[in-house]
């Protein structure tokens, strides 16, 4: 048996700034998400609050129909097929979406004039945090 010298395997070194940049990017997104959640929880933007409530309700309904892996699979397939379908039928989809949004705005105006405008609103005072 011939004696071999150990081979020189190059060392793989990832620069520390790569991890710093990843951490800064993730931290920024987390702070933005927390700010959005705080605005929804504390805020006076009723439309944003209703969108969050409806989104969570829709997620709960979809979650009751199937398990998590099925939702992930459907999301994966939709993410790869819907953009292609939208490009092909862009005009028809846009017309349909505009019609639906118009109907939703009409329903919101009716709800606002009959119910939401009658809710008394108090003054919100900003507290100074030290």
Check residue 124 and give its pLDDT: 60
CA 49 to chain centroid, in Å, comes to 14
Give the number of other CB atoms < 10 A from CB of residue 50: 13
Q: Which residues of the chain have pLDDT under 50?
A: none
Check residue 7 and give its pLDDT: 80
Q: What is the pLDDT of residues 90-105, one digit of tens each?
A: 999 999 999 999 999 9
pTM of the model: 0.43
Domain ranges, ordered by start, for the chain: 16-65, 67-117
In whole angstroms, give the CA distance from residue 86 to residue 25. 30
- Neighbouring residues of 43: CB distance < 8 A, sequence distance ≥ 6: 49
Check residue 46 and give its pLDDT: 78
Beta strands in 54-107 (DSSP E): none
Check residue 48 and give its pLDDT: 83
Query: CA of 24: how far to CAs of 13, 48, 100, in Å?
Result: 20, 27, 39
Check residue 57 and give its pLDDT: 92
Check residue 37 and give its pLDDT: 84
Check residue 127 and give its pLDDT: 58
- Helix or strand holding residue 62 (H, E): helix 46-65
Check residue 76 and give its pLDDT: 94
- Neighbouring residues of 47: CB distance < 8 A, sequence distance ≥ 6: 108
Check residue 122 and give its pLDDT: 65
Check residue 84 and give its pLDDT: 94
């Amino acid at each position: 048996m011939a004696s071999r010298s150990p081979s020189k395997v190059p060392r793989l070194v990832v620069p520390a700034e790569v991890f710093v940049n990843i951490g800064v990017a993730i931290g920024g997104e987390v702070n933005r998400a927390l700010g959005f959640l705080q605005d929804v929880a504390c805020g006076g933007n009723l439309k944003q609050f209703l969108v969050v409530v409806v989104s969570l309700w829709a997620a709960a309904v979809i979650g009751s129909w199937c398990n998590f892996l099925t939702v992930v699979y459907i999301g994966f397939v939709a993410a790869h097929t819907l953009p292609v379908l939208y490009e092909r039928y862009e005009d028809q989809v846009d017309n349909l979406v505009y019609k639906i949004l118009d109907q939703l705005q009409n329903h919101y105006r009716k709800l606002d004039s009959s119910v939401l405008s009658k809710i008394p609103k108090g003054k919100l005072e900003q507290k100074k945090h030290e």
